[in-house]
Structure formats: structure tokens, C-alpha cells
């Protein structure tokens, strides 16, 4: 069962001290992260240093210039049986059934020669890309953005480590750049005169995506400033605020598992809004062979710790469970 969050407050935290050397300032940021993760489960990260306007410009250009044939040729296996990919590729809109469309890509270090890809290890795929003559800046931008958002997320995890009473480098070895299974999704929600049927929540709210827990260590999201997200609290579903400048951060089920729900994964959902907008999440993951070895920073009495699990096993199970619950995105 999801943990009902005690609050819907979403603070904005200037995380820039995490890039510096002032131990007191880092600890102050960590305390703010702790409060947020045990409140609504969300906070906005300011001071990130990423050009979010360029991010939106490139993604909008990509979605605007992709042809239907290109989308199909690059579509994941759920839409194009000729493509074995289940993660990297195009997630197609289906006329009359599904309006949202997206592009997902993985670690630029994943080439056919990568040991896990050569071995056929699940969840590892070498990225395929749109034609680079037609979309000349898309791949270079995406690969650099992946490195930038991964580095930023890795720095955020230093704040999380301090918030959990650990040394700031606690997570460093668990986030190997060459092997991380992290993913970027570039999601477009269109405005349509004739929108396909959407689902309805138990409380009657029309939804673009039903309630779910993120499969990640943390999720780092930039989206268009159109209110759409809700978090489930002890007082019911509550709207989350928007930001046109900062990244929305929340814990996923890997962090919840690792900390025995000291930092829970907040249950959230996407309201149906008929508006042109982008949702651009980065799902931070460890490497396949890294191990989630649970701990808790507080005395939980007789509550047993979750058993250790390899990250590859966690991700494979969580990925397929989310599709089974909420359907193919």
C-alpha cells in the first residue's frame, strides 16, 4: 500500500551549496530535503545550472518535426514488433485511443560492445536515434543533457545521503556513470479538439495517467508550467504547484525500499488537462550489479529491514509491474 503523505507543501530548495565546499550549508540543504521527503515527498530544486529553455526548445522541435513514419520506425516493441527495444525508442500516440507520445533514451555509454548489452542483460539497450541529417542537433543535445542531468542528480544524492545521516559520498559508488540504468523520457501531451477517452479516478477526476509510484531512486522532472500533478495525502488528493524554472524532485520505490520507507515514494497521478505541454522526467537508477542493501536512519522497533536485492532485479520487476498496473505509456 502506498504511504499517504502528511502534507502537500512543496518547498523550493536552493541546492547549489551541494556543489560547493561549505559543510554547514550542505547540511542545511540536507535538512530541507529531509523535511520535504517526509512531508509531501516533493521539492523543487533551484540552483541547478541547467538551461531549461534550451531543453524545451530542442524537445519541442523534435516532436514538431518527427514524421509518422519516423515515429513508427523508431517505436518500441509494444508498437513496432520489428524493434526488440522495450525502453529506448518512440512511444506512439494511437488515434482515438491514446494522445500522449514520448521518446525515451538511456545511457549514452551503452554501445553494442558494452558487457551487459553483449550479454543480453535485461533493461540494457544501445540507443537508436532519429536520422541525424533531419534532426542534426537532437542526438548531440540529448547525450549531453543525459550527462548533465545525471551529474546533477548524483550531486542531489549527496544531499540525500546527508539527509539520511550518511557521509555525503555514500551513494557515489552506487551510481556508476558507465553502467547506470537511468533514463530520460521526453513526453508530449498535445492539445486536441477531439481528445481520445481518458480514465477517471475513484473520486471522479479525469486522468491522463493513473496513480503510481515512480520506479527509480529519485525522479528529477522538468515540465511546462501547466498544473497537472497531484499527490495522495492523508487528506486526499492535492494539487502540486508548478515552476517554469526548477526541477521537481521526488523519491522512487528504490529509495523507499532502501530506507524502509523512511523516505517513501509518494503516490501521485496526472490530471487530464487538454493543453500542449511537455513532461521531461529523468529517472535515476543504479547499475545492474549494484545492490540495494536496506537501512533506516531511525529506530523502527521490531520492523524488519527489507532484504537486499540487486538493482537489476529491482528495476526489471518494477518496470513490468508498472506496465501491468497502469498500461503501456
- Asked about 124 being catalytic, the answer comes back as no
Q: Using the 8-state DSSP alphabet, how is residue 174 labeled?
A: G
Which candidate in 179, 211, 214, 261 is catalytic? 214
Task: Map grid coordinates 537511468 to a residue.
Answer: 182
- Cell numbers for 52: 531549461
Q: Which of 114, 148, 212, 319 is catalytic?
A: 212
d(CA 39, CA 25): 21
In the block, residue with C-alpha cell 492535492: 238
State yes or no: is 179 an active-site residue: no
Closest CA to 72 of 63, 83, 61, 62: 83
- Could you give the 3-state DSSP secondary structure of residue 218? strand
Contact 123, 312 (CB under 8 A): yes
A 10 A CB-CB count for 27 gives: 15
Catalytic residue among 268, 272, 282, 283: 268
Secondary structure of residue 56 in the 3-state scheme:
helix
Under DSSP, the state recorded for 224 is -
Pick the catalytic residue from 42, 150, 209, 283. Answer: 209
Query: What spatial distance separates the first Cα and last Cα of the chain, rounded to whole Å?
Result: 23
Q: Which residues of 187-215 are buried (b: 16+ CB within 10 A; e: fewer)?
A: bbbeeeeeeeeeeeeeeeeebbbebbbbb
Of 200, 207, 253, nearest in space to 229 by CA = 207
Give me 279's grid cell: 513532461
Q: Which triple of cell numbers denotes residue 299?
A: 529506530
Burial class (CB in 10 A: 0-12, 13-18, 19+), 240: buried
| 212 carries an active-site annotation | yes
Give the catalytic positions in this structure: 209, 212, 214, 268
Amino acid at each position: 500500500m502506498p504511504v499517504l503523505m502528511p502534507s502537500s507543501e512543496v518547498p523550493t530548495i536552493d541546492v547549489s551549496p551541494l556543489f560547493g565546499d561549505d559543510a554547514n550549508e550542505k547540511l542545511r540543504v540536507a535538512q530541507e530535503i529531509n523535511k520535504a521527503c517526509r512531508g509531501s515527498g516533493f521539492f523543487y530544486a533551484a540552483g541547478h545550472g541547467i538551461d531549461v529553455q534550451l531543453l524545451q526548445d530542442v524537445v519541442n522541435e523534435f516532436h514538431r518535426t518527427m514524421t509518422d513514419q519516423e515515429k513508427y520506425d523508431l517505436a518500441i516493441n509494444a508498437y513496432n514488433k520489428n524493434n526488440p527495444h522495450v525502453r529506448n525508442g518512440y512511444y506512439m500516440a494511437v488515434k482515438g485511443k491514446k494522445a500522449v507520445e514520448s521518446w525515451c533514451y538511456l545511457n549514452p555509454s551503452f554501445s553494442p560492445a558494452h558487457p551487459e548489452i553483449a550479454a543480453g542483460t535485461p533493461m540494457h539497450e544501445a540507443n537508436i536515434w532519429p536520422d541525424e541529417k533531419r534532426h542534426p542537433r537532437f542526438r548531440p543535445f540529448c547525450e549531453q543533457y543525459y550527462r548533465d542531468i545525471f551529474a546533477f542528480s548524483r550531486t542531489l544524492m549527496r544531499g540525500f545521503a546527508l539527509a539520511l545521516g550518511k557521509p555525503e559520498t555514500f551513494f557515489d559508488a552506487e551510481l556508476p556513470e558507465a553502467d547506470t540504468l537511468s533514463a530520460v523520457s521526453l513526453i508530449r501531451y498535445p492539445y486536441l479538439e477531439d481528445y481520445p477517452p481518458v480514465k477517471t479516478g475513484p473520486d471522479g477526476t479525469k486522468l491522463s495517467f493513473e496513480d503510481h509510484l515512480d520506479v527509480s531512486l529519485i525522479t528529477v522532472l522538468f515540465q511546462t508550467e501547466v498544473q497537472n500533478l497531484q499527490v495522495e495525502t492523508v487528506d486526499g488528493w492535492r494539487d502540486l504547484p508548478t515552476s517554469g524554472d526548477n526541477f521537481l524532485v521526488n523519491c522512487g520505490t528504490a529509495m523507499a525500499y532502501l530506507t524502509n520507507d523512511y523516505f517513501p515514494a509518494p503516490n501521485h497521478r496526472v490530471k487530464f488537462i487538454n493543453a500542449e505541454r511537455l513532461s521531461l522526467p529523468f529517472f535515476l537508477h543504479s547499475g545492474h550489479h549494484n545492490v540495494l542493501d536496506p537501512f533506516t536512519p531511525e529506530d523502527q522497533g521490531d520492523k524488519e529491514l527489507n532484504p537486499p536485492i540487486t538493482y537489476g532485479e529491482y528495476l526489471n520487476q518494477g518496470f513490468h509491474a508498472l506496465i501491468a498496473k497502469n498500461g503501456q505509456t
